[in-house]
Structure 1
Amino acid sequence: MFAQVVAPFFGRREPRIRARGYLLGLLSSLERKNGWSLAEFAGDATPDGMQRLLNHARWDVDAVRDALRAQVAERLGCLDGVLVVDDTGFEKKGRRSAGVQRQYTGTAGKITNCQVGVFASYLHPGRQRVLIDRELYLPASWFTAPERRTDAGIPEQVEFATKPELAWRMIERAADDPLLTFAWLTADEGYGDNPVLRERCRSRGLSYVFAVSCDHPIVLAGRKMRADEVFAALEEQAWQRYSCGQGAKGHRYYDWAWIPLGPAEWLLARRSITDSGELAFYTCWATGPVALPELVRVAGSRWSVEECFQATKNEVGLDHYQVRKHLAWYRHVTLAMVAHAHLAFLAAGPPGATGAQQGEAFSGLATQGALPTGTITA
């Protein structure tokens, strides 16, 4: 993995070896994976070398990102894959880290001092899910303080972009990659409620199932209505029970109903089977006819990105960094994504592996507790 994804983008031996050590530290059983602990794991007396790797060494972090995406396409790519977009928060102290401010993050469930990253993950149904792209959200306040931007190392050419705009950049990169195949896009209502993002997806012929808010406006039979109003009028027989995928306690069953809005366009609703007042809504568009169970599958796959966030934070230190600079954030996060993908590839087994082979690979990985260092070569 290191040889294919990371090593080719280092012209000099010293930073290449440092990057290998950084990855091995991320893949280790260290409790905290910050500059000091990673340096000690690599046998360094100080974290200076690891800091140089993230802040000053010459290497192309976007090229590493693209190489990672190519590896995901080769190892996990399939025609019915799903691209999932979501954001996650990184709680921070102070105000000097790039993009930090008091803002809402679902990670903490409140407004707190944090950075927010927007991510794209790739889901292979029945195998693995990995993060393949990332963008750091910079709030508008950062573009009214040039000295603050300079201190955080934010390039002058970087302009303000909303989270849906950052999501579109990643969607375009995935769609432009001739090696990566996916059938669907999905995201939560923070992205689904954005009409520009939906229109851009349609213009590229990208089918989607986007969550939307309960007051999402639609026009039905010439009348403008809210999403929740539409489904409140449905009769009970319109609802059908399906599983939207496996959860921690088995299949996740809900009642589902859908309403056609136009050619290959639907409004979808999910209702709890224990609380009929608990509903979620989705706007769906496809390039051709689709059955309800397929829309349910895609809607349920959105939670895979949450599993990616949990795994990368718990297993490879996605949020353990202690850097302030804009470039350093991208470099740490990208290397953490590479580390997590390596674990996912081991768990999935070789391309085309059977379910039993995948289980054997995952069991072997679990008994090791961490990646054996011999699996990565410089």
Structure 2
Amino acid sequence: QVVVADAGYGQSAAFRHALRSRHLDYIVAVRGDETAHPFDAEPVAPAYSGAGRRTLPRYRTGTLALHELATEEGRQAFRQVTWRQGSRGAMRSRFRVLQVRPAGKTPRTLAAADAGGGAAWDGVPPAETLLVEWPPGENAPTDYWLTGLPPDTPIRKLVRLAKIRWRIEHDYREMKHGLGLDHFEGRTWRGWHHHVTLVTAAHAFLTLRRLDPKAQAPT
């Protein structure tokens, strides 16, 4: 199972760290202005002079926004991917996958805690896979996702998972308009939970019916 979330959750390094610590795979949307280091960036410390406290390792290069990292090699680094068949034909666009190390105090502090260090020590954040979409006809990439899935995960699988939010929105619309999720007019939490439970059970039943192979017609 893979956790999918929009940028409201994906922007939180603590949220992604919590998923990793629970060994949960994820692919979450982020903004293009989120900063990161290239995958091969390494923190270094100056040689110790023998006087005073040792200087802790630090990144000696500046951070870059994800949209800068994604476009360093231009549009030619993006490849066309088809992830599903829609009502109007094949759904396809151009994507790129690369490894980055998220920047900022929170990723460093969490990495330090994982390594057994204190908050004053800068850890090396684990690499995350960045998926970027640059649709044909657009002047710049439009969408970004970070994922904890292995870096050798096929790009088509990454795109399919990133784009699966359309299914979530479809299900929510079906529950709201078709099954009456927004029809509750009670005044108690207990009544609300009963209502949501019944709607959820109805939606689960309809989903199972939709996924089951159709019964053979009688002969």
In the TM superposition, residue 278 of structure 1 has moved relative to its aligned partner by 5.2
Q: Which amino acid aligns with 1:309?
A: Y
In the TM superposition, residue 198 of structure 1 has moved relative to its aligned partner by 0.3
Gaps of 5+ in 2: 42-60, 102-125
In the TM superposition, residue 199 of structure 1 has moved relative to its aligned partner by 0.4
* 1:185–1:253 Cα change, 3 Å: same
Matched, 1:205 2:59: no
Equivalent runs, 1:227-376 vs 2, <5 Å? 227-261=66-100, 265-277=128-140, 279-286=142-149, 289-349=152-212, 353=213, 357=214
* 1:258–1:240 Cα change, 3 Å: same
| CA distance in structure 2 between the aligned counterparts of 1:202 and 1:191, rounded to whole angstroms | 14
| CA distance in structure 2 between the aligned counterparts of 1:287 and 1:228, rounded to whole angstroms | 22
Gaps of 5+ in 1: 1-181, 362-378
Deviations 1:290-344 (A, max 9, x none): 1222211111112211011111112111111112322222221121111111111
| CA distance in structure 1 between the aligned counterparts of 2:160 and 2:139, rounded to whole angstroms | 21
Aligned Cα root-mean-square deviation (Å): 2.3
SS in 2 for 1:260: strand
| CA distance in structure 2 between the aligned counterparts of 1:249 and 1:265, rounded to whole angstroms | 34
| CA distance in structure 2 between the aligned counterparts of 1:252 and 1:210, rounded to whole angstroms | 20
Deviations 1:172-196 (A, max 9, x none): xxxxxxxxxx2x1111100111111
Query: Scaled by the length of structure 2, what TM-score is found?
Result: 0.70
In the TM superposition, residue 268 of structure 1 has moved relative to its aligned partner by 1.1
Q: Which amino acid aligns with 2:147?
A: C
| CA distance in structure 2 between the aligned counterparts of 1:279 and 1:308, rounded to whole angstroms | 25
Higher helix share: 1
Higher mean C-alpha displacement, 282-291 vs 249-258 = 282-291
Larger radius of gyration: 2
Q: Which amino acid aligns with 1:191?
A: Y
Q: Which amino acid aligns with 1:344?
A: T
| CA distance in structure 2 between the aligned counterparts of 1:320 and 1:248, rounded to whole angstroms | 30
Equivalent runs, 1:119-134 vs 2, <5 Å? none
* 1:285–1:211 Cα change, 3 Å: same
In the TM superposition, residue 288 of structure 1 has moved relative to its aligned partner by 6.8
1:188 maps to which residue?
A: 6
| CA distance in structure 1 between the aligned counterparts of 2:73 and 2:97, rounded to whole angstroms | 10
| CA distance in structure 2 between the aligned counterparts of 1:185 and 1:259, rounded to whole angstroms | 20
In the TM superposition, residue 211 of structure 1 has moved relative to its aligned partner by 0.4
**Which structure is richer in relative contact order (CA contacts within 8 A, separation 6 or more)?**
1
Say if 2:100 and 2:128, in contact at 8 Å, map to a contact too: yes
* 1:289–1:278 Cα change, 3 Å: closer
Say if 2:132 and 2:141, in contact at 8 Å, map to a contact too: no
| CA distance in structure 2 between the aligned counterparts of 1:273 and 1:347, rounded to whole angstroms | 34
| CA distance in structure 2 between the aligned counterparts of 1:288 and 1:219, rounded to whole angstroms | 16
Say if 1:244 and 1:301, in contact at 8 Å, map to a contact too: no
Q: Which amino acid aligns with 1:235?
A: G
Q: Which amino acid aligns with 1:303?
A: W
Say if 1:254 and 1:270, in contact at 8 Å, map to a contact too: yes
* 1:297–1:219 Cα change, 3 Å: same
In the TM superposition, residue 264 of structure 1 has moved relative to its aligned partner by 6.6
| CA distance in structure 1 between the aligned counterparts of 2:133 and 2:165, rounded to whole angstroms | 13
Percent identity reads: 28
